[in-house]
Amino acid sequence: MRTRTLGRTDVEVTELSYGAAGIGNLYRPVTDEEAAAAIDAAWDAGIRTFDTAPHYGLGLSERRLGEALRDRPRDTYTVSTKVGRLLAPADGDGDGDDLANGFAVPATLRRVWDFSADGVRRSLEASLDRLGLDRVDIVLLHDPDDHAEQALDEAYPALERLRGEGVVGAIGVGMNQSALPARFLRETDIDVVLLAGRYTLLEQEGLTELLPEAAARGRSVLIGGVLNSGLLTDPAPGATYDYAPAPEPVLDRARRLKAVTERHGVPLRAAALHFPLGHPAVASVLTGARSTDEVRDTVEQLRAPVPAALWDELRAEGLLAPDVPVPSPVEGAPSPKEPS
C-alpha cells in the first residue's frame, strides 16, 4: 500500500488508515478476538497507520490496539492518538454504561476535558501505558471546539515541546469542523489536521479554507468520515448523516451521487473512498472497521478502478464543482512512493 509523509516530518502514513473507534465498542460490543482479527486483516492488507483515542471506549480502543500490535516491529507502523480528554474514576458506583457517548462499555471511568499543558502530558502518559508503547508517532488535539483559546495557548505549546523532545513525531488537531483547524494552520506550526466528515464526495466544506491553507503551507490532512456516517454506503430511507437521520435534501443528493457512480459500474462507497485522495494536501483516508469483513471490503473498494468519466459526469450533473480536484484515473490518487 502506498505511503505519504506528513508535512515536513519523517512520519509516514499509508493512504488508507485504520480508525480504531469501532474496536472501542462504538455503538455495540466487539470481542477481544474480533478486534484482534480486524487489526490482523488490516495489517495483512498493507495498512500500517492506526488511529485511536482515550475517548474511544474509555481507553478500550487503545488497549486493544496496543495488544494487537505488540509483537510487530515498532518501526514498521504509525500510531496516532489524541489528547484533550482525561479519563478519571466515575462518580458513584459506575454500574451504568457509556452508550450516551456512543460506546457499549461499562461507565467505570468518566471523561474530563483538559487542554492544559499538564493535561496534555498526563493524557499522553496514560495513552502510552494503555498502548504498551514508549512513543507514538502522531498526537492530535481532540475536538477542542469549546476550548479553542486554551488549546492554542496551552495545549499546542505542550505538544510543540513534546515534538521537540522527540517524544512524538507529528502534532496536530482532529475535528469535525474546518474553521478552527484552519486557524491552527495559520497560527501554529502543526504538521497535520484530521478532518472528519467535512471533505467527502457529499460535501466539500474543507475545500473553502482548510485544504488550500494546508497545501500552501506544506502541511498534511487526514480525512475521516468519508462515508458521512454511513450515508454514502447506502442512501436508503432512514440512513444517517452526522449521526442523525439524514434530511431529505441531503438524502436526495446522496441518491443522485449513487445513480452516477453505478452508471459507471462503481459502488458509491468506492467513489467516496477514492475522492479525498485527489487533493494534494490529503495524505490518507481514515476509515473505521470492527470486523475482518469490513476491513477487506474497504480495501477492495479502494483498489477498485474509478474511471475519469465518472468524475466528469458528477461535474456535469452539478454534484461536484468544476474546480474540485479529483483522483487520477484508475489508481485513485498519485502517490510519491511505494513502501519497501
- Summarize pLDDT for 253-281 with one digit per residue, the tens: 999 999 999 999 999 999 999 999 999 99
How confident is the prediction for the chain on average, in pLDDT? 94
Q: Are 253 and 202 in contact (CB under 8 A)?
A: yes
Tell me: pLDDT of 336 over 70: no
pLDDT value at position 337? 37
Residues 6+ apart with CB under 8 A from 223: 195, 196, 199, 200, 206, 276, 282, 284, 285, 286
Read out DSSP for 147-199? GHHHIIIIIHHHHHHHHHTTS-SEEEEEES-SHHHHHHHHHS---EEEEESSS
Q: Is residue 56 annotated as part of the catalytic site, yes or no?
A: yes
Q: How far apart are CA 21 and CA 300, in angstroms?
A: 21
Q: How large a percentage of the chain has pLDDT more than 70?
A: 96
Q: Are 58 and 87 in contact (CB under 8 A)?
A: yes
Tell me: pLDDT of 335 over 70: no
Q: Are 262 and 268 in contact (CB under 8 A)?
A: yes
User: Could you tell me the pLDDT band of residue 169, with boundaries at 50, 70 and 90?
Assistant: very high
Cell of 330: 484508475
Task: Select the more confidently predicted residue: 340 or 109.
Answer: 109
pLDDT value at position 339? 35
Residues 6+ apart with CB under 8 A from 170: 6, 7, 9, 11, 137, 138, 139, 163, 191, 192
Return the number of other C-beta atoms located less than 10 Å from residue 242's C-beta: 15
Residues 6+ apart with CB under 8 A from 216: none
Catalytic residue among 56, 156, 199, 241: 56
